Amino acid sequence: MTHTAAILVVEDDHNLARVFAKTLEAEGYRTIDVDTGRAAIAEIRTRNPDLVLLDLGLPDGDGLALLPTIRANSAAPIIVVSGRVREAEKVRALDTGADDYLTKPFSVPELLARVRVALRKQARADDDAEPAISFGEHTLSFSARRLVRGTTEVRLSLIELKLLMTLARHHDRVVTTDVLLKETWGAGYQTRNGYIRVYIHALRAKLEPDPAKPRFLLNAAGLGYRLNTSTK
């Protein structure tokens, strides 16, 4: 990655949280430590971490129930770190939005290896994309994860940006709702078509000269959406 990765540690065991922080910071990462799900969502929305380490046993709720909210607000890799060893728990976590599952107790080298793998996969996904896509007066930079209109940045939420980047990777082609849900929110979201409608509506309000008559974000009835880059 081109910057020092920031890792959000969501862990209510303060001793273990300190171990995480010291271990990760010794490897050059920045850490953000919280001990509740509510605080985790607040940090994700304001600090945009590069990776999330999530304990499931939180004082204000089950971490499994928190996963969809994290995924709806961030495209960052999520590594669940938990003492729960049942296969069903692991499968549910992965289906709900986690990228990896690390069972306690674990070794420090294994933790660091999982973190490196997750960050490398995220970096490769960004590197494989085209450097930038232009449509109308807008330019979307994949590497900077930034949209500008002329010289002015267009402020997007994390999910708005993720959805737009997904459409931009397949620009001028219809992207099905299944693909949009999988690439934007992750596995396990194939029935949440309402998510796409809500965020397309929000994007149109920010990008289209007339959101009621979209020129860029076009609907393919019954199939999905298309980012039209040929319209000026």
CB atoms within 10 A of CB 38: 13
What radius of gyration, in Å, describes the C-alpha atoms of the chain? 19
Cα–Cα dist 102/36, whole Å: 19
Per-residue pLDDT, 4: 79
Label the pairing between strands 217-220 and 78-82: unpaired
Same domain, 47 and 120: yes
For residue 2, what pLDDT is reported?
A: 42
Q: Would you say residue 53 lies in a domain? A: yes
pLDDT at residue 157, rounded to an integer: 87
Residue 65: both structure tokens together: 């129930």
The pLDDT score that the predictor gives to residue 71 is 82
> Which pLDDT belongs to residue 188?
64
- Which of the listed residues 67, 95, 127 is the one where a domain comes to its end? 127
Same domain, 58 and 115: yes
Looking at 127, 151, 174, which one is the last position of a domain?
127
CATH number at residue 37: 3.40.50.2300
| Global pTM exceeds 0.75 | no
What is the domain extent for residue 77? 6-127
In a domain, 46, yes or no: yes
Q: Specify the pLDDT at position 206.
A: 96
The predicted pLDDT at position 54 comes to: 97
154 touches 147 (CB < 8 A): yes
Alpha carbons 19 and 11: distance in angstroms, whole number = 11
Q: Which residues, including other chains, have CB under 8 Å from residue 22's CB and lie 6 or more apart? A: none
Distance CA 226, CA 216 (A): 8
Q: What is the pLDDT of residue 132?
A: 87
Assigned domain for 153 exists: yes
- Measure the CA–CA gap between 49 and 59, rounded to whole angstroms: 22
Which residue stretches of the chain have pLDDT < 50? Answer: 1-2
pLDDT in tens, 152-187: 999 998 889 989 999 998 899 998 888 888 888 776
DSSP 3-state assignment of 152?
strand
